[in-house]
Copies of this chain bind each other. A is one copy, B any other.
Amino acid sequence: MPKIVDHEQYRKELLSKCFDLFAQKGYGSITMRQISQGLGVSTGTLYHYFPSKQALFEQLVEETCQQDVVMALAELEGTETLKESMIALGRYLAKNEDYFIKWTYLWIDFCQHQDSKEIPGNNIFKNSNQRYRQAVCDFFEIQDPMLASFILSFIDGLLVRKLQGDEMIDFTEQCTLLGEILTAYLQQYESSKVANY
């Protein structure tokens, strides 16, 4: 086998150590020198594996997003009702609060260093958004994409408010509330459907 295998493997190894480095200082604030040092390689080597800071981060997004979804679904499986699922989600968010806030922070930080017109066209972002949306649909057994957007927006909103220093946000509490609200809504929706027939 050619060396390309080692090259790919080493790239992934480096990538896996990058999350914490980015998380410590943010996308915009950490320098390529600092990343190099954190990885124990030279800047030249870093550029050998990743053509730019932006590309490095985009690869990190893809990798992290995949792992996120897999791990979340693995840990959350086994709930039965929507309410239970939401409570489980709330606990999961609360448990990994630091991680998710950092991740949101990083993601937005990155967006703010791009031309805002280019963001919607970015395939990495499209893919990652799609993956998260699919995971929500699967886990909550929802078909309506609008409802999935609703839930995703709400989760992002919680994270952003916390990030902005709103100390009144409590993930478990808020997700439980979302569970109750959605359950009430869906029950009514169901019964109205029945009533119509």
Contacts and interface: CB of A to CB of B under 8 A. Distances in A.
Interface of A: 26, 28-29, 104-105, 107-109, 111-113, 116, 119-122, 125-126, 129, 133, 145-147, 149-150, 152-158, 160-161, 163-169, 173-174, 177-178, 180-182, 184-185, 187-189
A166 B129 contact: yes
A104 B160 CA distance: 10
The 9 lowest CB-CB distance pairs between A and B, nearest first, are: A157-B157, A153-B157, A119-B165, A120-B165, A156-B157, A184-B185, A181-B185, A184-B188, A153-B158
A90 to B, nearest CB: 12
Given A150-B177, A154-B153, A108 B163 contact: yes
A45 to B, nearest CB: 11
A176 B177 CA distance: 19
A22 to B, nearest CB: 12
Contact of A156 (B121, B145, B160, B168): B160
Contacts of A178: 150
A161 B165 contact: no
B26 A119 contact: no
Contacts of A125: 164-165
Given A156-B160, A157-B157, 12 more contacts: A29-B113, A104-B160, A105-B116, A108-B108, A119-B165, A120-B167, A125-B165, A150-B174, A152-B161, A153-B154, A160-B160, A181-B182
